Amino acid sequence: MNITEPIINAALLGTATKEFTPSGFPEALEENFRLLQEKAEDAEAAFYQIAALTFAYQRAGTEPQSAEETTAISEAPEDSLPYFDRTVGEMLVQMVNERNRYLLLYAYRKAVQCNKLIPPFYLRPLISRAYDRNNPDKHEEQSLLSLLAGNRGRWLLPHMELPDWGDTGNETWETASHEERKRMLQRLRKENPEQGLALLQTELKNESAAHRDELIQCLRINLSKKDEPFLQEIITTDRSSNVKETARRLLCSLPDSELVKTYCDLLRGKLRHKMLLGWSYEKIAFTPELKKLGLEEVSPNKMEKDDEFLLRQLAERVPLSFWAELYDCSPEKAAAKLAKKPPFSQYFNLRRPIVNFNDNLWAYQTLKEDASEHYFASLIGLLTPEQREEIDFQTTNKNLSALDSWYNEDGKQWGPKFSARVLQRLFQSDYYYPPKETAERLALYLPREVYPQLEKYTLANEADHFAAKFSRLITEYMRMKEKINTMFNDNK
């Protein structure tokens, strides 16, 4: 007998007037039918459960477990927020299947702003990716999904044998692994820098030198003057020279730290600049105290004088305010003057202090004065998208790759001028073949104004040429970005 036929017939007739009574079924099924009928709220609910069990029995081809052997699963809790349309879930799953990591994160961030939830049906593949140990974005995806999966997503986690959102399985510092401790500290420094510092102050002494070094580096997140006493104590008391050096470098990136003020005091009066005569230098003697400050006595470049090398090290450690004082002008003018004619000839690395102090104004004024490849690669990442529109950077090097510094962390879209120059730089390369991930990442920053430029690159090359393929891929991802924008703007 076909065991599904009675179920189908009963469904066609309906259960409103007549209760379905199973008969002629395998003994194991009838036993479970009886239990379902006893526990069901009404006849219709019992019928649905019996139908599901019967079809599962036929499809599996095995006998169901007895009532004693089955595992009870609690019912998923209801969600208080509404769900997105299923097209949202389908789009997210598609991006998981096609490994669009940047577009997926972009979509999650947009979705969070809508105060809605992903339909439960689509959660399993999204959760699986968010907990994949090889996923570089797993922590951020978990954080975003915790807001988008609702109560049913949290209910699903233990049934997938996964920990709760953001739970590493070690809830305390004492039981956490070193990598988990770094993540805990990094998260605290983002959310509450002072609390992160307090945790490090109490727990650092029990770590190995290598682990102390890596944990101290976490203080770079939201580094401030409040961290200075602790870092100064590390320099004074820690047993490891590497740890001391890490602490010193962190203090060096605080323009108002006592260490940087010391550098300024040592250099003040030792450099002079005259409009006609140029730069002149006053020698400074090397002492053990200077060695403790991280300075070296002998230049690695045999063409550079050691006394000028010592001054140059100090010059590369002082903030823009020092140069404004030296030139007796505004910081903007000082930055421009320094870019035009820096001291110590070609040996002076102007990019080093700008990047070290993460100085937007200094980078902007320097690039306005000199936008050559020499400065562009290091400094463009410090500029806002609006500032980048004013920089006409030039490059003649045809073996150039995409730079991580292009992608501003705030995710703000670039302007059309800077975007056009970036594309020109990429497509003029003779040897660089950008990967798929570069096209996807670029698409999130490029505006609609570059569509004609992308079409030109597509039409100007053979269909299988890397430039044509790359431009088509960027266009495809930009269309997908627009679809995401439309989809979530409509859901607000």
- Residue 170 CB contacts under 8 Å (≥ 6 apart), including other chains: 176, 177, 180
More confident residue, 48 or 335: 335
Domain boundaries, the chain: 5-60, 86-159, 178-254
Mean per-residue pLDDT, 101-130:
95
The per-residue pLDDT for 248 is: 94
Of 284, 294, 332, 333, the C-alpha closest to 316 is: 294
150 and 81 Cβ atoms separated by less than 8 Å = yes
The per-residue pLDDT for 55 is: 78
Is the pLDDT at 122 greater than 50? The verdict is yes
Is the pLDDT at 62 greater than 70? The verdict is no
Dihedral angle sign, alpha carbons of residues 369, 374, 379, 384: positive
Neighbours of 406 (CB within 10 A): 17
The per-residue pLDDT for 401 is: 63
Is the pLDDT at 445 greater than 70? The verdict is yes
What single letter denotes the amino acid at residue 329? C
Q: What tens digit of pLDDT does each residue of 177-205 get?
A: 888 889 889 989 998 999 999 989 888 88
Mean per-residue pLDDT, 20-38:
74
Is the pLDDT at 168 greater than 50? The verdict is no
Q: Which three-class secondary structure string do you get for 59-101?
A: HHCCCCCCCCCCCCCCCCCCCCCCECCHHHHHHHHHHHHCCCH
The per-residue pLDDT for 27 is: 75
Q: What tens digit of pLDDT does each residue of 256-272 get?
A: 999 999 999 999 999 99
Neighbours of 360 (CB within 10 A): 14
The per-residue pLDDT for 466 is: 78
> Tokens 């961290």 identify what position?
227
* pTM across the whole model: 0.78
Confidence of residue 439 (pLDDT cuts 50, 70, 90): very high
Residue 353, Cβ density class (10 Å: 0-12 exposed, 13-18 middle, ≥19 buried): buried
pLDDT above 90 covers a percentage of the chain that reads: 59
Q: What does R_g of the chain's alpha carbons equal in angstroms?
A: 32
271 and 326 Cβ atoms separated by less than 8 Å = yes
Is the pLDDT at 116 greater than 80? The verdict is yes
Q: What tens digit of pLDDT does each residue of 316-350 get?
A: 999 999 999 999 999 999 999 999 999 998 899 99
Is the pLDDT at 171 greater than 80? The verdict is no
Is the pLDDT at 250 greater than 70? The verdict is yes
The per-residue pLDDT for 461 is: 75
The per-residue pLDDT for 169 is: 46
380 and 367 Cβ atoms separated by less than 8 Å = yes
SS3 291: helix
Distance CA 15, CA 165 (A): 43
> Of 43-52, 275-284, 330-339, where does mean pLDDT reach its minimum?
43-52
Is the pLDDT at 431 greater than 70? The verdict is no
Mean per-residue pLDDT, 59-83:
75
Distance CA 347, CA 312 (A): 8
Of 160, 166, 111, the C-alpha closest to 140 is: 166
What single letter denotes the amino acid at residue 475? T
Query: What Cα–Cα distance (Å) separates residue 449 from each residue in 414, 416, 452, 461?
Result: 11, 6, 7, 21
Confidence of residue 170 (pLDDT cuts 50, 70, 90): very low
**Token pair of 397, please?**
């090097």
SS3 328: coil
405 and 393 Cβ atoms separated by less than 8 Å = no
Is the pLDDT at 103 greater than 90? The verdict is yes
More confident residue, 53 or 193: 193
Mean per-residue pLDDT, 40-57:
78
Confidence of residue 70 (pLDDT cuts 50, 70, 90): low
Is the pLDDT at 115 greater than 70? The verdict is yes
Is the pLDDT at 430 greater than 80? The verdict is no
More confident residue, 215 or 466: 215
Most confident of 290-299, 319-328, 398-407, 483-492: 319-328
The per-residue pLDDT for 465 is: 78
Query: What Cα–Cα distance (Å) separates residue 387 from each residue in 366, 367, 381, 403?
Result: 12, 10, 11, 18
Is the pLDDT at 15 greater than 60? The verdict is no
The string of DSSP letters for 152-206 reads HHHHHHHHTT-PSTT--S--STTTS-HHHHHHHHHHHHHH-HHHHHHHHHHHGGG
The per-residue pLDDT for 153 is: 94
The per-residue pLDDT for 215 is: 94
Mean per-residue pLDDT, 390-403:
71
Mean per-residue pLDDT, 127-152:
93
Is the pLDDT at 463 greater than 90? The verdict is no
Mean per-residue pLDDT, 380-393:
91
Confidence of residue 142 (pLDDT cuts 50, 70, 90): very high
What single letter denotes the amino acid at residue 291? K
SS3 275: coil
- Residue 231 CB contacts under 8 Å (≥ 6 apart), including other chains: 216, 219, 247, 248, 250, 251
